[in-house]
């Protein structure tokens, strides 16, 4: 196979700080190369450099060649032409790539032929692309705005847009991170099939070793801005040479280390929801239909479901970011609707209940330093001093160095941004945390650290937590109870052990099948799907 992409001694700097230090990579036509590493390892920065999307404050040196093009020397007009004829990219955060003011139909039209309206031919292409990525309700999706779709649906729309140009190279930066196990499998199978059918090469940034093992021809392992190991996938995973690679392999197979549970005490309900209903404008069905749940002090309730099941919509309504059409919700004696009435009630609710976002880019002010973000949260909590020592203490609590206090969000990795979001929530000393996919963007090692942190806080503060997620295998290790959502309804809920030992709903059985299949795949040293072109 001919070489399609070559990276030689790539160095990326932010001022005097080195983010990527001398990376070398080679990708052949039709090959699947997986770049794996922890948050902050430089893998996403390298991917952004390869598709010409580095922010202006970053400088790149070295060489990146795609076919006959010297990518570091391309003018903006040449980049636009290349992206329409040869290269496409998929990003981890679809909301940053989709225009919230344009319907999906207009954005697909732009990707297909550069227009903003679908004619008959392009409409057929758009519907075909949506079906290809698993969005079969094409009429509703085409007529929707991005914010009316779930995170998984948004990501699949983005994949459809990328495929519209029939690329020779697809750069995918954590494309399945925020998806449930079932949808992850579907997307990976789709990418695998497209690669074989079209002879398309894929450079995929990921932290999921089970996905890497299943689809990659080659693996490059990044650590602290360097490529510490690369080679054929089976060899890297089964016989890792570098200590960091061995640590990643071990971390993918380890369970969460839980602290001792709380002493048995009569439960005090801190959150109740009854018959909650919600419908997005222009939606054919309700996003939530008669949802009911409760949460006790010191308890962790997991809400699990596939993309589009309604779990993130429920999270936003529980914290008052959106208002339900019907039903009753009470959090620590307050209603989320109080947030919409006046500033005093909004602040009172925020001191009781905090929301940890999945989308760290959209939840942090890009112009504020970490110190300013945390100081404002402390002031809102009633800490009128908000001294530097308190800021440093919060940083330590979430595993961050205090020197990061002077940075802005664009100077942090995805994992560091998420931990800042957690620190900001903790600054309010809440009684309830609602966490919407808080670890989905992190590698296995960091997932374990963050989950251990959240559970320790839950135990020590008698704080309650609603944990929204799609990784049933991870959630079953620390959630006291689990509620299973499907098509806007809770189809099953109960004690975690009881549900896992005797699932009643088809939705839970499907999630368990995919979770256990992924776990079994991770434990098999030589497991790998055929990747022949």
pLDDT in tens, 16-46: 888 999 999 999 999 999 999 877 788 989 9
Of 283, 322, 271, the C-alpha closest to 467 is: 271
Continuous segment of H or E residues that includes residue 512: helix 506-523
Please give the pLDDT value at position 103: 92
Residue 154 sits in the same domain as residue 242: no
Of the pLDDT bands very low, low, confident and very high (cuts 50, 70, 90), residue 479 is: very high
Residue 81 sits in the same domain as residue 186: yes
Asked if 338 and 345 touch (Cβ cutoff 8 Å), the reply is yes
Distance CA(215)–CA(201), nearest Å, equals: 12
Residue 189 sits in the same domain as residue 325: no
**Domain end marker among 381, 412, 428:** 428
Distance CA(74)–CA(189), nearest Å, equals: 33
Distance CA(206)–CA(39), nearest Å, equals: 10
In a domain, 528, yes or no: no
State yes or no: pLDDT of 424 exceeds 70.
yes
State yes or no: pLDDT of 530 exceeds 60.
no
State yes or no: pLDDT of 306 exceeds 70.
yes
In a domain, 416, yes or no: yes
pLDDT tens by residue, 227-257 = 999 999 888 888 889 988 888 777 666 555 5
* 3-class secondary structure per residue, 271-294: EEEEEEEECCCCCCCCCEEEEEEE
Distance CA(170)–CA(191), nearest Å, equals: 9
Query: What average pLDDT does range 65-69 have in this prediction?
Result: 89
Residue 340 sits in the same domain as residue 439: yes
Query: What average pLDDT does range 97-117 have in this prediction?
Result: 87
In a domain, 182, yes or no: yes
Please give the pLDDT value at position 385: 62
Distance CA(149)–CA(312), nearest Å, equals: 10
> Among 14-18, 168-172, 445-449, whose mean pLDDT is lowest?
445-449
Please give the pLDDT value at position 464: 93
In a domain, 287, yes or no: yes
State the chain's mean pLDDT as an integer: 84
Residue 233 sits in the same domain as residue 340: no
DSSP codes joined into one string, 138-163: HHHHHTSBGGGS-HHHHHHHHHHHHH
Residue 2 sits in the same domain as residue 124: no
Query: What average pLDDT does range 157-178 have in this prediction?
Result: 87
**Domain end marker among 196, 225, 253:** 253
What percentage of residues in the chain have a pLDDT greater than 90?
A: 38
State yes or no: pLDDT of 158 exceeds 70.
yes
State yes or no: pLDDT of 533 exceeds 50.
no
Between 63 and 515, name the one with better pLDDT.
Answer: 63
Query: What average pLDDT does range 57-79 have in this prediction?
Result: 91
DSSP codes joined into one string, 379-399: HHHT-SS--HHHHHHHHHHTT
Please give the pLDDT value at position 531: 33
Backbone φ and ψ for 529, nearest 5 degrees, come out as: -75, 155
Please give the pLDDT value at position 344: 85
Residue 82 sits in the same domain as residue 181: yes
Q: What range defines the domain where residue 176 resides?
A: 1-86+168-253
Of the pLDDT bands very low, low, confident and very high (cuts 50, 70, 90), residue 355 is: very high
Distance CA(216)–CA(386), nearest Å, equals: 48
Backbone φ and ψ for 39, nearest 5 degrees, come out as: -60, 135
Residue 3 sits in the same domain as residue 80: yes
Of the pLDDT bands very low, low, confident and very high (cuts 50, 70, 90), residue 119 is: confident
State yes or no: pLDDT of 525 exceeds 70.
no
Residue 187 sits in the same domain as residue 335: no
DSSP codes joined into one string, 481-498: EEEEEETTEEEEEEEHHH
pLDDT tens by residue, 186-217 = 778 878 887 888 888 999 998 777 777 778 89
> Among 126-140, 175-189, 229-243, whose mean pLDDT is lowest?
175-189
In a domain, 91, yes or no: no
> Among 77-91, 125-139, 447-461, whose mean pLDDT is lowest?
447-461
In a domain, 493, yes or no: yes
Q: What is the DSSP letter of 404?
A: G
Of the pLDDT bands very low, low, confident and very high (cuts 50, 70, 90), residue 178 is: low
Between 247 and 224, name the one with better pLDDT.
Answer: 224
Please give the pLDDT value at position 389: 74
Residue 25 sits in the same domain as residue 114: no
Q: How many domains does the chain have?
A: 4
Between 283 and 238, name the one with better pLDDT.
Answer: 238
Please give the pLDDT value at position 520: 47
Asked if 214 and 165 touch (Cβ cutoff 8 Å), the reply is no
* 3-class secondary structure per residue, 230-257: EEEHHHHHHCCCCHHHHHHHHHCCCCCC
Listed in sequence order, the DSSP H helices in 399-502 are 414-426, 444-461, 472-475, 496-501
Distance CA(149)–CA(317), nearest Å, equals: 15
Place of tokens 């590493």: 37
In a domain, 360, yes or no: no
Place of tokens 């990376």: 23
Residue 158 sits in the same domain as residue 115: yes
Distance CA(270)–CA(383), nearest Å, equals: 24
State yes or no: pLDDT of 449 exceeds 80.
no
Distance CA(516)–CA(522), nearest Å, equals: 10
Structure tokens, 512: 């368990």
pLDDT tens by residue, 308-341 = 889 989 999 999 999 999 999 999 989 998 888 8
**Domain end marker among 164, 180, 202:** 164
Residue 477 sits in the same domain as residue 516: yes
In a domain, 42, yes or no: yes
What percentage of residues in the chain have a pLDDT greater than 70?
A: 90
Please give the pLDDT value at position 92: 75
């Amino acid at each position: 196979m001919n070489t399609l992409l070559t990276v030689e001694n790539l160095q990326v700097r932010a001022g005097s700080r080195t983010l990527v230090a001398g990376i070398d990579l080679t990708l052949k036509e039709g090959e699947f190369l997986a770049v794996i590493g922890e948050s902050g390892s430089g893998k996403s920065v390298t991917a952004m450099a390869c598709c010409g999307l580095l922010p202006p404050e970053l400088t790149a040196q070295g060489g990146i060649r795609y076919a006959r093009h010297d990518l570091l020397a391309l003018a903006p007009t040449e980049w636009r032409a290349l992206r329409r004829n040869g290269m496409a990219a998929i990003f981890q955060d679809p909301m940053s790539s989709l225009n919230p003011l344009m319907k999906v139909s207009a954005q697909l039209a732009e990707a297909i032929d550069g227009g903003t309206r679908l004619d008959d031919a392009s409409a057929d292409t758009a519907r075909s692309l949506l079906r290809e990525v698993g969005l079969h309700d094409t009429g509703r999706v085409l007529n929707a705005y991005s914010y009316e779709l779930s995170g998984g649906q948004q990501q699949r729309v983005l994949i459809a847009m990328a495929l519209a140009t029939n690329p020779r190279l697809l750069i995918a930066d954590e494309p399945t991170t925020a998806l449930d196990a079932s949808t992850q499998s579907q997307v990976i199978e789709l990418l695998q099939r497209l690669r074989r059918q079209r002879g398309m090469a894929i450079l995929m940034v990921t932290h999921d070793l089970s996905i890497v093992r299943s689809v990659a021809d080659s693996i490059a392992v990044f650590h602290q801005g360097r490529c510490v190991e690369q080679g054929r996938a089976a060899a890297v995973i089964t016989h890792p040479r570098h200590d960091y690679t061995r640590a990643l392999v071990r971390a993918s197979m380890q369970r969460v280390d839980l602290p001792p549970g709380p002493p048995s005490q009569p439960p005090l309900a801190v959150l109740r929801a009854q018959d909650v209903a919600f419908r997005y404008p222009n939606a054919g069905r309700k996003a939530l239909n008669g949802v009911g749940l409760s949460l006790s002090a010191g308890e962790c309730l997991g809400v699990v479901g596939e993309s589009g099941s309604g779990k993130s919509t429920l999270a936003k309504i529980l914290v008052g970011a959106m208002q339900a059409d019907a039903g009753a919700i009470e959090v620590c004696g307050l209603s989320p609707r109080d947030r919409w009435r006046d500033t005093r009630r909004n602040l009172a609710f925020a001191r009781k209940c905090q929301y940890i976002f999945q989308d760290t880019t959209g939840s942090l002010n890009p112009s504020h330093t970490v110190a300013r973000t945390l100081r404002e949260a402390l002031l809102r909590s009633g800490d009128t001093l908000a001294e530097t020592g308190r800021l440093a203490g919060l940083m330590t609590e979430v595993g961050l160095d205090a020197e990061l206090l002077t940075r802005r969000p664009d100077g942090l990795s995805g994992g560091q941004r998420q931990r800042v979001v957690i620190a900001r929530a903790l600054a309010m000393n809440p009684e309830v945390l609602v966490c919407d996919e808080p670890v989905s963007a992190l590698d296995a090692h960091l997932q374990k650290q963050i989950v251990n942190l959240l559970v320790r806080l839950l135990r020590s503060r008698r704080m309650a937590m609603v944990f929204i997620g799609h990784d049933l295998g991870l959630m079953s290790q620390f959630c006291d109870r689990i509620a299973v959502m499907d098509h806007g309804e809770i189809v099953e809920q109960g004690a975690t052990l009881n549900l896992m030992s005797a699932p009643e709903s088809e939705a839970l059985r499907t999630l368990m099948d995919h979770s256990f299949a992924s776990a079994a795949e991770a434990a098999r040293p030589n497991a790998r799907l055929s990747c022949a072109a």
